[in-house]
Amino acid sequence: MGSRLSRLTGGNKPPDDKQIKMLDELRDPSPEPVLAEPEARMVPEPPKAVDAPPKSKYTYLAEGGEEYVPPPKRRTTPKIAKLRAQLRPKLVAAADEFDGLSSSDPEHRKMVKTRLQTLLQRSNIQLTQDEYNELEEAMIKDLLGFGAIDPLVLDKSVSEIMVNGPEIIFAERKGRLQETEIVFDDDDHIQWTAHRIVRPMQRDFSRRNPMVDARLPDGSRVHLIMPPSALCGTTITIRKFPEKRLTWQDLVSFGSLTEEVAMFLKACVRIRLNIVVSGGTGSGKTTLLNVISSFIPEDERVVTIEDSAELQLSQRHVVRLETCPPMQGTKEGQLVIRDLVKGSLRMRPDRVVVGEIRDGAALDMLQAMNTGHDGSLTTVHSNSPRDAVARLETLAMMAGMDLPVEIVRTQIASAVDLFIQVARLKDGSRKIIQITEVQGMEGQQITLQDIFLYKTPGHTGVQPSHEGGGQLEPTGLRPNFYTRFEEQKIELPRGLFGGMGSFNRRQ
C-alpha cells in the first residue's frame, strides 16, 4: 500500500481530494455488482447425506417398514473352500460312483474319509486339525449328500428348501419361511449339488436343458434352473414329503378337514366320481391327492402319471409312470404327460391318477374320464373351482385340436364331478376350503354348486375365508349325486349336508 500511495501522491506531497477518493476506493472496494439474471447462476448443490453402511451385504425393508437383516452366514473358510473345489472331482473314480450313497451311513462316510486322507498325503497338503475336520465334513456333504443344504435335507422339520443362488437359502418350517445361515461357496458348488440330484434320474442339466424337474431318493420333488435364466445363480427348490405316508386321520388331526368330510370324500371315491384337486403352489394338492387315492379299493388297477414321482399309493396293484426327457443331444426318447395318459388307456386301468395337469394332456384326461375311466383323479393350479374350470378350458385348447370352447366346456361338465379347493391360509396352515359339485351346463356356462365351505367365526361372505381358526362347514345343499350313495348302500353321517342328510354313521 505504501508504494502505491507514493505513486499516487508523487513522493512526500500531501494528497489532494482526487487522490484521497482513489485511496478510499482501494481501501474499501464496492460490493460485487448484482447479475441481471440471478436464476442463471450456477449454485452448487448441498452435499448429500451419506447413508450409514448396511449391516450386511443384503438389507431390506420388511413389512411395516422395519429393517430386515439376514441372519449371519456360516461360510466355509477361503482355504477350505478352495481345497473343496479342487479335491471333489479327484476323490471319485467316476462321476456317478457315489450316486445312491448317503451321508448318514457310517460305512459310506468312512470310504470318503479314507480317500481324502490318502489324497492329502500324496499331495503333501498340510492342514491343522480344525482345517482337516472342516474339509472332511465338507467333502462328505458334497460327495454323499447335497452340499451345503445337506443338513436341511436331513432335517425332518423342514418341509421346503429354496436356494436362490449361493448367498440366499430359505427353509420352510410349520408353514413359515425363514432365511437360513447356510450358503454355498459359489455357483459351481450349487452346480455340483444339482448334478448329483439329476444324475441318478439320467436327466441332463446343462445349457441345452437349463430347467429340470427331478426328485430326491426319499421322493422329495426338486425343480432346478440355471443361469442365464436364473439371474441370481442356480436355483434349487425342494418340496419334501413326510417319511410316513399321511392318512385321512392325520389330516383330521391337523385340522385340514373334518372327520365327516373325510367320510364324504371316501364315499365319493367309492362311487367313482371324477375328482380334481385345485389350489395354489404349496397348498397341499399332492398330499390331499395321496390321501384321496388311498380310498381306492385294493382290487382295482391304478395307473399313476407324474412329471416326477411323488404319489405314494398303498395299494398293491399300482403302475407308476413318470415323464422321460429326451436322450442327451437328441430329441429322441422323450415322453411327456400327454404321451403317458394316452398310453395308460391301453393298460386296462380301473383308475387313472395324474399328479398334475399343466398342458394339452388336459384334453386327453377329460376324454379318458368320459370314456369309461370313472373315478379318475388329478390336480390343477387355480385359486378357486371357477378358476379351475377356466384353467382346464385353456389347457385343453392347448392340445392343438382347434375345438370350439363350447365343446371343451361340455367335455368338462360331463367329465368332472367334483372340485376340491385347498389353500395355505394366512397362519401358514393348509386346509380344504371348498368342495364344489359340477352340476352340468346351463346355456353355455358350467354350473357349480358349493357343498362345503371353509368359514371362520364372523365370516359371512359367499366365498371361503382365508384366515386361520375356522372349519369346513356344509352349505345346506345336497349334491345331485346323492342318490348314487343310496344305490350303492353307502351310509354317511346324519346331517352331513347341514341337516338335509339322512344317513346313519356306519362307515
Decide which of 500 and 386 is more confident.
386
Q: Give the pLDDT of residue 94.
A: 86
- State yes or no: pLDDT of 386 exceeds 80: yes
Distance CA 449, CA 31 (A): 88
Is the four-CA dihedral 259, 260, 264, 266 of positive or negative sign?
Answer: positive
CB contact at 8 A, 381 and 358: yes
Residue 446 is assigned to a structural domain of this protein = yes
Residue 500 is assigned to a structural domain of this protein = no
One domain for residues 208 and 352: no
Decide which of 131 and 241 is more confident.
131
One domain for residues 94 and 171: yes
CB contact at 8 A, 57 and 179: no
Q: Give the pLDDT of residue 8.
A: 43
Q: Give the pLDDT of residue 18.
A: 54
Q: Give the pLDDT of residue 219.
A: 82
Residue 495 is assigned to a structural domain of this protein = no
One domain for residues 226 and 297: no
Helical residues (DSSP H) of 100-231, grouped into ranges: 106-123, 129-144, 150-154, 187-198
Q: What percent of the chain has pLDDT over 70?
A: 85
Q: Give the pLDDT of residue 385.
A: 94
- State yes or no: pLDDT of 373 exceeds 90: no
**What's the predicted TM-score (pTM) here?**
0.72
Residue 503 is assigned to a structural domain of this protein = no
- Strands 302-306 and 176-179 come out as unpaired
Q: Give the pLDDT of residue 133.
A: 94
Q: Which of 239, 263, 281 is the last residue of a domain?
A: 239
Query: Please, what is the angle between helix 129-144 and helix 106-123, to 10°?
Result: 130
- Indicate which CATH number applies to the domain containing 341: 3.40.50.300
- State yes or no: pLDDT of 356 exceeds 70: yes
Q: Give the pLDDT of residue 314.
A: 83
Residue 127 is assigned to a structural domain of this protein = yes
- Indicate which CATH number applies to the domain containing 113: 3.30.450.380
Residue 381 is assigned to a structural domain of this protein = yes
Q: Give the pLDDT of residue 244.
A: 77
- State yes or no: pLDDT of 90 exceeds 60: yes
Peptide bond into 31 cis (omega under 30): no
Q: What would the mean pLDDT of 345-349 be, rounded to a whole number? A: 90
Confidence of residue 377 (pLDDT cuts 50, 70, 90): very high
E strands in 287-388: 302-306, 318-322, 351-354, 377-381
One domain for residues 267 and 147: no
The per-residue b/e assignment along 305-343, b for 16 or more CB within 10 angstroms, e otherwise, is: bbbbbbbbbeeeebeebbbebeeeeeeeeeeebbbbbee
Q: Give the pLDDT of residue 326.
A: 79
One domain for residues 140 and 22: no
Residue corresponding to grid cell 358350467? 446
Q: What would the mean pLDDT of 455-472 be, rounded to a whole number? A: 85
Residue 62 is assigned to a structural domain of this protein = no
One domain for residues 186 and 289: no
Domain residues for the domain of 3 are 1-28
Q: Give the pLDDT of residue 329.
A: 66
Query: How many separate domains does the chain show?
Result: 3
**Three-state SS letters, 280-298:** CCCCCHHHHHHHHHCCCCC
Q: Give the pLDDT of residue 163.
A: 96
pLDDT digits (tens, 9 = 90+) for 394-428: 999 888 888 888 999 999 999 999 999 999 988 88
pLDDT digits (tens, 9 = 90+) for 6-58: 444 454 555 565 555 554 554 544 444 443 433 333 334 444 433 444 444 44
Determine the straight-line distance between the first and last CA of the chain, rounded to whole angstroms.
Answer: 118
One domain for residues 139 and 279: no
Decide which of 51 and 340 is more confident.
340
What average pLDDT does the chain have? 84
Q: Give the pLDDT of residue 15.
A: 54
- State yes or no: pLDDT of 1 exceeds 80: no
Residue corresponding to grid cell 398293491? 316
Residue 181 is assigned to a structural domain of this protein = yes
Q: What would the mean pLDDT of 500-506 be, rounded to a whole number? A: 37
- Strands 430-442 and 302-306 come out as unpaired
Peptide bond into 53 cis (omega under 30): no
Decide which of 162 and 313 is more confident.
162
Q: What percent of the chain has pLDDT over 90?
A: 50
What's the alpha-carbon Rg for the chain, to the nearest Å?
35
One domain for residues 327 and 417: yes
Q: What would the mean pLDDT of 298-319 be, rounded to a whole number? A: 88
One domain for residues 483 and 358: yes
One domain for residues 173 and 202: yes
Confidence of residue 138 (pLDDT cuts 50, 70, 90): very high
One domain for residues 179 and 313: no
Q: What would the mean pLDDT of 431-458 be, rounded to a whole number? A: 92
Distance CA 274, CA 365 (A): 10
One domain for residues 15 and 96: no
- Strands 430-442 and 60-61 come out as unpaired
Q: Which of 190, 218, 239 is the last residue of a domain?
A: 239
